[in-house]
Structure 1
Amino acid sequence: MEITLKVNQAYPSDSGRGIARLDPDAMLRLQISPGDIIEIEGKRKTVAKVWRAPKRDWGRGIVRIDRFVRENTGVSVGDGVKVRKTDYQSARTVILAPLRKMDFRVYGMDIGDYLKHQLLKRPLVEGDLVPVIGAPALAGFGKYGQSQALLFVAVKTEPKGVVVIDESTRVIYRDRPAKGFERLGKAGVTYEDIGGLKEELQKVREIIELPLKYP
């Protein structure tokens, strides 16, 4: 079973968390519950964990996903995507590499263990852009601050297919930037990265962005 939904931007508090918000009708049609994993297909396929949408989104036929999930699917706000429930396996191994060269250090623990701690229960597929939100209490990020998303690529997973990082997963960090993923990480700052200006941002989208995209 699959349905088609229109992509909308994530709420700021959801950014970087690998989740997709669906309304109860969409979840009923897909026979899924909050916490299940869905596959999202645009130009490419990726996965996300389902959360229930707030009432103001019910009946609108939308899925709210952040810029990282949108990049992994190759879509923009307003595009249609196919959504379906998917099976998954526990990841035995996930190899992560930075999207671009960065000054990334962790104090007091292995970098792979730190990344696993930050990504526990995160679903992904090989080739995904994987954001990690900085936490200076655990790591030294050089110029990166606490709210800065550090961008990694899942260059290899074992097994293949949809996997979820759990306590048994071995996460390996490679410090050389991932090659062949230049298409990723170019979105820059988006609406869901900016909190506290919901009404103002919506007016900007309605007046400027949407008429340019859909004249």
Structure 2
Amino acid sequence: MSRPIYSITPFTLLDYPHNSACILWFAGCNMRCLYCYNPEIVLGKGRVSNEETIRFLQSRQGLLDAVVFSGGECVLHKNIIPLIEKVKEMGLKVKIDTNGSSPDILKQLLDKNQIDYIALDYKAPQSKFQNITQSDLYDSFEKSLELILEYQIDFEVRTTYHSDLITEEDLIEMVAFLESKNYVGKYYIQFFKNNVNTISKLERSINKIDHEKLSTPTIKVILRE
């Protein structure tokens, strides 16, 4: 039996705006972001099957509004589409946390109207993307961003900030890139969590940004501690 899910967070009010949700943490990822603080999920093996997950969700009907598909990278898993379809059939909303590396899968889900909200990780400007993510998937990320904008689905763009990896100048460049794609809205900067295990050994991040300087008339930069 396939067990793609590392663990389940049974309840959260923080991960899907204005909705109660659970989180499905999918094992495995096609990036190795230096600052990643979920190495046990990214490098580990799944322990929960889709069948066990459905039984859990059935037991939570009436208590949850939504399911957050996270990881790792959830859309890598071959049975992700039928699982999401089953969740939607149960009357639950679906949010996907993604690094944007699988635009083809995203398009299939968007074509079927199977996603209600997307959190898209904008890892780094193109010049630093390969080093920070240890992958060559920038073009896929860009295609995913364009696709999400085309479908006009509710979504957010977010970047994890570590002062040794990304500068304020990089963030200005990233905001300009979003503007070039005609993105309008909020852009979330998440501060790196110091004193946690990460994929790469990093020094302490100096989590201080002049976010007012980064915002533009069309994009509002919001800091998340």
TM-score above 0.5, yes or no: no
Bigger strand fraction = 1
Give the TM-score of the pair, scaled to structure 1.
Answer: 0.28
Structure ranking higher in helix proportion: 2
State the structure with bigger RCO (CA 8 A, min sep 6), 1 or 2. Answer: 1
State the TM-score, normalized to the length of structure 2. 0.27
